[in-house]
Amino acid sequence: MAGFLSLLRRVYLSLYNWTVCFGWVQVLYFAVKILCCKESGHEQVYDAVERPLQLAQTAAFLEIIHGLIGLVRSPISATLPQIGSRLYVTWGILYSFPEARTHMLVSSLVISWAITEIIRYSFFGLKEVFGSAPSFLQWLRYSTFLVLYPIGIFSEVGLTYIALPYIKNSEKYCVRMPNKWNFSFDYFYAAIAVLGIYVPGSPHMYTYMLGQRKKVLSRSKRD
């Protein structure tokens, strides 16, 4: 029974990793295609990648579930903030406020996300299928973040900041009193709070990933 469950886990995680990887390949392809086209530019990037971006990024929510039920060993303390911030930018900013979609930071955002995730999902996909991945892919998995993570964070923060005036003027997602719940919520101040979380959160995540890189690559050299 244990062997069957282990096989089922590997099949599921393999299908999950390769499916999401394919979604990110689409995102990268459509983004690069638009940017390389003489008749278009960064203003059209979001429209080109919207659906695969939403699907691929939202599918990452399952990784939180995977960690909670012990399907993978990734700590929730590392998975939750990274996926949570990306879901917030995907749905809470880009989907909700079209005014931010044409900024050039969308290009740097989706390209940095896509390259990172294509490498990550293909790495784990190969590990689930074959039990290991090529050493060059492992190096990319634990090294490309050195550049791509700061670019992604800068883009996330920048797009959230750009959306602030539109959030304030539209009062979207705000709950005003009086109401039957006796509760109020201002999305503008919530967005500012999210920006504040990036201040301690980003260095913490970067330090964590540096530690993971050192541990994994050192073990790889010994092997």
- Mind listing the pLDDT tens digit for each residue in 47-87? 999 999 999 999 999 999 999 998 888 888 888 999 999 99
Residue 163 backbone dihedrals phi, psi, to 5 degrees:
-80, -15
* 23, 59 contact by CB (below 8 A): yes
d(CA 218, CA 48): 40
Q: What is the pLDDT of residues 134-181, one digit of tens each?
A: 999 999 999 999 999 999 999 999 999 999 999 999 999 999 888 888
Q: Which of 149, 161, 173, 206 is catalytic?
A: 149
Domain extent for 185: 2-222
**How many structural domains comprise the chain?**
1
> Among 63, 117, 128, 156, which one carries the catalytic annotation?
156
User: Looking at residue 161, what is its pLDDT?
Assistant: 98
pTM for the whole structure: 0.93
**Rounded to an integer, what distance in angstroms lies between the CA atom of residue 117 and that of residue 78?**
15
Helix (H, G, I), strand (E, B) or coil at 131: coil
Output the six-digit token pair for 65: 């579930």
Q: Is 149 a catalytic residue?
A: yes
To the query of whether residue 156 is one of the catalytic residues in this protein, the response is yes
